[in-house]
Amino acid sequence: MSAPLLSIRDLSVSYTTRTGPVPAVRGVDLDVAPGEVVALVGESGSGKSTTAHAVVGLLPRGGRVDGGEIRFGAHDLATAGDRELRAVRGARIGLVPQDPTVSLNPTKRIGAQVAEVLRVHGLAGRREAAARVVELLERAGLSDPAVRARQYPHELSGGMRQRVLIAIAIAAGPELLIADEPTSALDVTVQRRILDHLDTLTRELGTAVLLVTHDLGVAADRAQRIAVMSGGRIVEVGPTEQVLSDPRDPYTRRLLAAAPSLAVARRSPAAVAPALREADPLVEVEGLGKDYPLPRGSGPRVLHAVRDVSFTVERGRTLALVGESGSGKSTTARMVLRLTEPTTGRIRFDGEDVTAARGADLRRLRRRAQLVYQNPYASLDPRFSIEEVVTEPLRAFGIGDRASRAARARELLDRVSLPATVLGRQPAELSGGQRQRVAIARALALSPELVVCDEPVSALDVSVQAQVLELLAELQEDTGVSYLFISHDLAVVRQVAHTVVVMRGGEVVESGTTEALFTSPTHDYTRELLAAIPGATAPTAGGTR
Amino acid sequence: MGGSATGRYVLRRLAQAVVVLWAAYTVSFLVLDALPGDPVTAMASAGMDSGAVDQEQLDQLRAEYGYDDPMLVRYLDHLGSAATGDLGDSVATGRPVVDTIAQALPPTLQLAGAALALAVLLGGGLALVATYSRRRWLRQVLLSLPGLGVSVPTFWVGLVLVQVLSFQLRLFPAFGNSGPSSLVLPAVTLAIPTGALVAQVLAKSLLTALDEPYVQTARAKGAGRARVHLSHALRNASLPALTVVGLLAGQLLANSVVVETVFSRDGLGRVTAGAVGSQDLPLVQGVVVLGALVFVLVNLAVDLVYPLLDRRIVVAGGRRSLA
C-alpha cells in the first residue's frame, strides 16, 4: 500500500448535549490510500457518519473534535481553520450526501448548483462553467444534460438527483470522495445502477472513496477494505474478503449474520406452520384497481396507480408485495384494509365480500385486519404512554375494563419480548426496534387474523431488522395470523414470505412461491431486482449459499 | 406555467376578491346595524346644539335617510348602490364616503408604504445579522430585540420619538403632513411592530434553513459563510417572511389609526377614528370595505411572488400547491 491519502489517528469527537458532552467517536485510526475504496460499516449511532463528517469539518451542530489528527496531504483537518477547510472542501474532497431528495437547494437550477463548485474555487468563469456543467452531468450518467441543467431539483427523480450530487462531488476533480450512505434513500435497482456508475467513475478518475454504509452487502460489493465501527470505535478493519470470510470480532460476526442480503434464508418460511394450511383462503383479491384523476391539461385524464391486481392470502401464511416506489404496493395494501377506496375489483375477507362494506361490517373488518407502519418513530403518539398505545385498539372497540386491558397490555408486551416496565414509558424513551415491537403489540391487541406490515423493518438497523423479522415469524407460528408484507427489499422478503407478488408501475409482473421466484424468476424485472440485492456475489463466513 | 394559465388564475382570484368584499360589506353592515343608536341620533346630538330636536324631526330625518325601513330593505338598497361604487354619504359631513376616503387615502398609503419598506429592511437586516453572527452574545441580544419591538405599544414609541428626536434634538417635525421629513417619525413608529414580526419569522426560518441538508451540500462545495447565508438559506427562508408581510399589511392600516392620531397627521386613520367617534356608519363601513380590498390585493400580490422564489409552487391549477 502506498502512502495514505487520508490518515486519521486517534480521532475523538463528542456532541454537546444538555446533560454534558457525549462521546460519539473514540480513538479512531483509519487510512485511505490514493484510489482506494474503503467502506466504513456500522449501525446507527456507531459513529461512522460522524467520523466521515469530521474529515471535512462538517459536524452537525454541537459536534466537536476533541483530539486526534486528520492528515490529508499537508493539512491537518482536525485543527484546520475555516479558510483552510474551505479550500479543501469541494476542490480536493467531494461529499456525496445521504438523502438526494433534500440535499439540493429547491430554489436553484441544477446547472447553477453544479457550477457553484467551479465558481467558488475559481476553476471556471461563468460561461466556461456552464459548458463544464453539461459535461459533468453527462459524466454522472444523466441523459439530456443540457436540459437537466436548466431544471429545478423537484423536476428530477431521486436517482437523477443523486447523479447531480455526484456531478457536484466530482466537479473539481477531488482526490477523495466521501459517500455517506449515498443510496440508502433510493430504490434497489436505482441504488445498484448509481453505485455501479460511481465505481466506474472513481476508477477512471483514480479517486479514493470513503464509503459510509450500514449495509455490509453494499460494502462487500464495492470496497477493497472494510472498517467496522461500533460504539464509536473501529472494532475490525481489513481487506474485504478477510473481514467477510474470517471475521475476528464478535460484533462483525453478528452484523454478518444479521445482514439480510448476505444471510441465507435462516428460517425457511415454507416450513413454518404447515399444519395451519387450509383450503379456504383468508383474503382474496380480484382485479383490484385504483385510478387517480390527473389535473386538467394535456395528457391522460387519470393515473392508473394500481391495475388489475389479483392474489390470495392463505391463513397463517405470509404474502409479500414487492416493488419499488410508485409500484402501487402500498396503495394495494391500503385498499385491502379499506383505507383507500378501490376503483375496480373485489376484495373478499374470510369468504365475505368487503369491497363495499360500511358501518358495522367495516368496523368488524377493522377489528380483524390491522396495520404495522414503516416508521416506528412516527406511528406512535408521542404523548401516549406505551400502555395507552398498546391498549388503544381495545378502548376503541370498548373491550374489557381498565384492569383487564392493563393485563392484556402486559401479556402483549411479553409476546413481543419487551419487559412490563416499558408500559409506563413514552415512545421517545425507546429505541427504534423497541418501538416497532410496540407497534406490533398494538396490531395484535385485537387478535386480528390479518396484519398488513408496510415496510416494517426498513427504518431499522440490520441487526434489529433480523430480530423483528424473527419475532413476526414466531408470532405467526403461535397465533396463525396471516401477513400481507410490503417491501422493496427482496432480501428481507426471502426470509419471511411464503408467496411473493412482484409489482411494477401498478401492475403485477410476476407472482409465485418464494422458492420458485428466487430460483427461477421468469420476468426480466424480477431478475433485475434479484441482481440488485447487494452482496449477492460476496463470499460469506457461512458459505452455505 | 403558461402566461394564459397565470392570467386565468389572477382572474379567478379577483372573482374571489369580489366575494370577500361582499362578505366584508355584509358582516360590517350587520354588526353596525346591531349597535345601539343610529346616525340620526348621533347627528342630532352632535350637530345641532340649538336645543332639543323633537321626536317628530328625528323621525323625519330617519325617513329621509331611509333608517326606518326594515333591515333587509336597507341592506339590499345599500348593497345595490355599493355595487355601483356609491357607498353613501357621510352622516357627519354630508360628503360622499368614496370622496372622503379617496382624499384621506394618499397620505396614509405614503405612511404605510414607507413603514412597510422600513419594516422589511430593518427586520430583514436584523434577522440576517443575528443569524450570521458567530458571537453568541451578539446573536442573543439581536434575537431578543424583535420580542421587545412587538411588545411595546405603538403610541408609547411615538411619544418617545417625538419627545427625543423632535422636541429635544429638533431633527424632525413632530406633527403634520409637511414634506418627507414629517413622514420619518410616524413611519418609524409604524414600522417597529411590523419589522419586529418580520425579523422574528425570518430569523426563525433562516435558522431552520441553515440546518437543511442542502446547506451542508453547499458547505461541502467549499462555499463561504456569506455565500451559504445569502445565496442558499435566505431565498428558502424568505417564503414564510413573505407570508407574514402579506398578513401585516392589514395590521399597518389598523395601526395607522393610532400613529396618525399621535402625530396629528391627516389620513385614513384619523378619518376612521373620527367616523367611529361620531357613529358615522356609512363612513365606517366604507373603511371596512377598503381594508378588505387592500388585504385581498396584497395577498394576491404575495401569492404571485411565491412561484418566483420557489419553482415548486405552481399558481396555475386553481390553487397554490406543492408540485
Which among B222, B235, B323 is the nearest to A89, CB-wise?
A: B222
Residue A466 in contact with residue A457, Cβ under 8 Å? no
Counting one residue from chain A and one from chain B, the pairs whose CB atoms sit within 8 A come to 79
CATH of the domain at A296: 3.40.50.300
Q: Across the 545 residues of chain A, what is the mean pLDDT of every consecutive 10-residue run?
A: 86 88 92 95 89 93 91 92 93 92 93 95 91 93 91 89 94 94 82 89 92 89 94 94 92 83 52 52 93 74 89 94 88 93 94 90 93 88 93 92 93 90 88 90 94 88 85 92 92 90 93 91 91 68 40
**Chain A, nearest residue to B207 by Cα:** A61
Regarding whether B205 and B138 lie in a shared domain, the answer is yes
Q: Please indicate if any CB of chain B lies within 8 Å of the CB of A122.
A: no
A57 within some domain: yes
A425 within some domain: no
d(C-alpha B251, C-alpha B161), whole Å: 21
Regarding whether A519 and A455 lie in a shared domain, the answer is yes
First to last CA, chain A: 33
Regarding whether B134 and B77 lie in a shared domain, the answer is no
**Chain A, nearest residue to B237 by Cα:** A107
CATH of the domain at B132: 1.10.3720.10
Domain span at residue B180 reads: 101-277
Regarding whether A281 and A135 lie in a shared domain, the answer is no
d(C-alpha A305, C-alpha A329), whole Å: 9
Residue type, A427: P
d(C-alpha B219, C-alpha B209), whole Å: 13
A391 within some domain: no
Residues A415/A419/A425/A427 CA torsion (nearest 10 deg): -50
Tell me: the pLDDT tens digits for A175-203?
A: 999 999 888 778 888 888 889 999 999 99
- The total number of structural domains in chain A stands at 3
Which among B211, B224, B309 is the nearest to A107, CB-wise?
A: B309
Inter-chain contact A120–B225, Cβ cutoff 8 Å?
A: no
Regarding whether B177 and B272 lie in a shared domain, the answer is yes
B252 within some domain: yes
B285 within some domain: no
Regarding whether A290 and A186 lie in a shared domain, the answer is no
Regarding whether A355 and A297 lie in a shared domain, the answer is yes
Residue A232 in contact with residue A23, Cβ under 8 Å? yes
Which residues of chain B lie closer than 8 angstroms to A168, CB-CB? 217, 221
Last residue of a domain, one of A258, A280, A307: A258
Q: What is the DSSP string of B261-281?
A: HHTT--SHHHHHHHHHHTT-H
DSSP single-letter state for residue A356:
T
Regarding whether B112 and B260 lie in a shared domain, the answer is yes
A355 within some domain: yes
Q: Please indicate if any CB of chain A lies within 8 Å of the CB of B147.
A: no
B176 within some domain: yes
Which residues of chain A lie closer than 8 angstroms to B213, CB-CB? 97-99, 102-103
Residue B220 in contact with residue A104, Cβ under 8 Å? no
Regarding whether A197 and A146 lie in a shared domain, the answer is no
B290 within some domain: no
Regarding whether B129 and B260 lie in a shared domain, the answer is yes
Interface of B with A in 223-252 (CB under 8 A): 223-225, 227, 232, 235-236
B287 within some domain: no
Regarding whether A373 and A240 lie in a shared domain, the answer is no
Residues B116/B119/B120/B123 CA torsion (nearest 10 deg): -170
Question: Quick one: A359 exposed, middle or buried, by C-beta within 10 A (0-12, 13-18, 19+)?
Answer: exposed
A427 within some domain: no
Regarding whether B244 and B209 lie in a shared domain, the answer is yes
Q: Please indicate if any CB of chain B lies within 8 Å of the CB of A397.
A: no
Nearest to B29 by CA among B65, B73, B78: B78
Regarding whether B207 and B243 lie in a shared domain, the answer is yes
A481 within some domain: yes
Q: Please indicate if any CB of chain B lies within 8 Å of the CB of A88.
A: yes
A233 within some domain: yes
* Residue of A85, A116, A163, A210 for testing the chain B interface, max B β-carbons within 10 Å: A116
Regarding whether A202 and A74 lie in a shared domain, the answer is yes
Which among B220, B236, B323 is the nearest to A90, CB-wise?
A: B220
Last residue of a domain, one of A258, A288, A311: A258
Residue A264 in contact with residue A544, Cβ under 8 Å? yes
* Residue of A105, A117, A178, A210 for testing the chain B interface, max B β-carbons within 10 Å: A105
Regarding whether A202 and A80 lie in a shared domain, the answer is yes
A438 within some domain: no
Inter-chain contact A56–B214, Cβ cutoff 8 Å?
A: no
Regarding whether A344 and A462 lie in a shared domain, the answer is yes
d(C-alpha A91, C-alpha A121), whole Å: 7
Regarding whether A208 and A160 lie in a shared domain, the answer is no
Nearest to A319 by CA among A290, A344, A284: A284
Q: pLDDT of chain B along its 323 residues, tens only?
A: 455 677 888 888 888 888 988 998 899 888 888 877 666 766 666 555 545 667 787 788 777 767 777 888 888 888 888 888 888 888 778 889 899 999 999 999 999 999 999 999 999 999 999 999 888 899 889 989 988 888 888 888 888 888 888 888 888 887 777 777 888 888 999 999 999 999 999 999 999 999 999 999 999 999 999 999 999 999 999 999 988 888 888 788 888 888 888 888 889 988 988 888 888 888 888 998 888 888 888 888 888 888 888 878 766 544 444 43
Inter-chain contact A105–B214, Cβ cutoff 8 Å?
A: yes
- The total number of structural domains in chain B stands at 2
**Cβ contacts of residue A344 below 8 Å, gap of 6+?**
A287, A288, A289, A308
Domain span at residue A514 reads: 269-381+448-531
Interface of A with B in 282-311 (CB under 8 A): 295
Regarding whether B144 and B121 lie in a shared domain, the answer is yes
Which among A121, A165, A295 is the nearest to B217, CB-wise?
A: A165
Regarding whether B244 and B175 lie in a shared domain, the answer is yes
Inter-chain contact A97–B323, Cβ cutoff 8 Å?
A: no
B188 within some domain: yes
Last residue of a domain, one of A148, A171, A194: A171
| b/e per residue A242-278 (b: at least 16 CB within 10 A) | ebbeebeeebbeebbbbbbbbbebbeebeebbeebee
Tell me: the pLDDT tens digits for A452-485?
A: 999 888 878 888 888 889 899 999 999 999 999 9
Q: Check residue A293 and give left, alpha or beta (phi > 0: left; psi -120 to 50: alpha).
A: beta
Question: Would the CA dihedral through B156, B160, B161, B162 be positive or negative?
Answer: positive
Regarding whether A273 and A252 lie in a shared domain, the answer is no
Q: State how far the alpha carbon of A24 is from the alpha carbons of A51, A61, B53, in Å.
A: 9, 13, 87
Which residues of chain B lie closer than 8 angstroms to A120, CB-CB? 221-224, 227
Regarding whether B208 and B59 lie in a shared domain, the answer is no
Q: Please indicate if any CB of chain A lies within 8 Å of the CB of B140.
A: no
Complex-level ipTM: 0.78
d(C-alpha A330, C-alpha A294), whole Å: 19
d(C-alpha A352, C-alpha A373), whole Å: 26
B288 within some domain: no
In Å, how far is A508's CA from the nearest CA of chain B? 28
Inter-chain contact B216–A99, Cβ cutoff 8 Å?
A: no
Inter-chain contact A105–B225, Cβ cutoff 8 Å?
A: no
Regarding whether B118 and B79 lie in a shared domain, the answer is no
Inter-chain contact B211–A61, Cβ cutoff 8 Å?
A: yes
Regarding whether A44 and A165 lie in a shared domain, the answer is no
d(C-alpha A146, C-alpha A123), whole Å: 20
B282 within some domain: no
Q: Residue A453's beta-bridge partner residues?
A: A372, A485
